[in-house]
Structure 1
Amino acid sequence: MKKLVFLLILLTSLSSFSQDPFLQKSNPEAKKEAIKITNLYIPELALTGDEQLLFQQKVEEFLIRRYKIEAEFKGKEKLELLYQLQQMETDDMQDILTREQMQVYKKIKPRIQPLETVSKE
């Protein structure tokens, strides 16, 4: 019985550490846009070489998610999902950036990566 429980826990933990296959797909458009966005942040945040690469990968990951939301949703629902996604991206950047860089990032993000607006219909 202990072996069975151990096996179930092991299988569960392995699946939780697996990566999202959707995000593993290469998207040349997202990669190109991520490079462009990262280059706008580099002088503002004084990113080091390692930080630049991690930052760019994180931006690309969220761009892929953004493209999916933009393709599947419209109106207020789309805006709400994009807002949530932007909050998740900001939270994830805390793992890459220093505290000082994070403060600057939060100030300049609306200018570099603005959120869409929805017109009243």
Structure 2
Amino acid sequence: MKKLVAIVLLFISFSAFSQDPYLQKSNATAKEEAVKITDNYNLELSLTGEQQLLFQQKVEEFLIRRYKVESELKGREKLTVLYQLQNEETKEMNNILTRPQLEVYKQVKPNIQPLERVSKE
């Protein structure tokens, strides 16, 4: 019985410490764009050095996800998924930014990272 519990705990620990598959694949385009986006936000948010690094990594992670969505989906479905992705990104920025910075981030995000529009056909 102890061996069974040990094996189950071992498998749980493997899945708990696994890495995000989006971050395992480096994308030079996403990294360059993440740097530009972070610089634009930094003008508004006055990020600390540590915040800037974490912010840039988070932006890069979501850019890679965005590129995947844009290549696989079209129309309203793509826009819906991108909207959900943007909301998830905003929630995760809560762990990096202070409360006043987060409020400014929410205000300037539509200007710096706008969503596409679906045309009525």
Please report the TM-score for the alignment, with normalisation by the length of structure 1.
0.95
CA–CA distance in 1 between the matches of 2:107 and 2:22?
30
CA–CA distance in 2 between the matches of 1:80 and 1:3?
46
The ranges of structure 1 where at least 4 consecutive aligned residues each deviate by more than 6 angstroms after the TM superposition are none
Is 1:68 matched up with 2:68? Answer: yes
The percentage of counterpart residues that share the same residue type is: 68
Equivalences, count: 121
Q: Flag structure 2 segments of 5+ consecutive residues without an equivalent.
A: none
CA–CA distance in 1 between the matches of 2:100 and 2:17?
30
- Matched with 1:46 is 46
CA–CA distance in 2 between the matches of 1:2 and 1:75?
53
Q: 1:3 Cα shift?
A: 2.6
CA–CA distance in 1 between the matches of 2:12 and 2:60?
28
CA–CA distance in 2 between the matches of 1:16 and 1:34?
27
- Matched with 1:29 is 29
- Once the two structures are superposed, residues 27-52 of structure 1 have per-residue CA deviations (whole angstroms, 9 ceiling, x without a partner) of 00000000000000012001011110
CA–CA distance in 2 between the matches of 1:99 and 1:59?
18
CA–CA distance in 2 between the matches of 1:115 and 1:17?
33
Q: Flag structure 1 segments of 5+ consecutive residues without an equivalent.
A: none
- Matched with 1:95 is 95
- Once the two structures are superposed, residues 90-113 of structure 1 have per-residue CA deviations (whole angstroms, 9 ceiling, x without a partner) of 000011000110011011101110
Q: 1:14 Cα shift?
A: 2.0
CA–CA distance in 1 between the matches of 2:120 and 2:23?
33
CA–CA distance in 1 between the matches of 2:84 and 2:10?
32
Q: 1:20 Cα shift?
A: 2.1
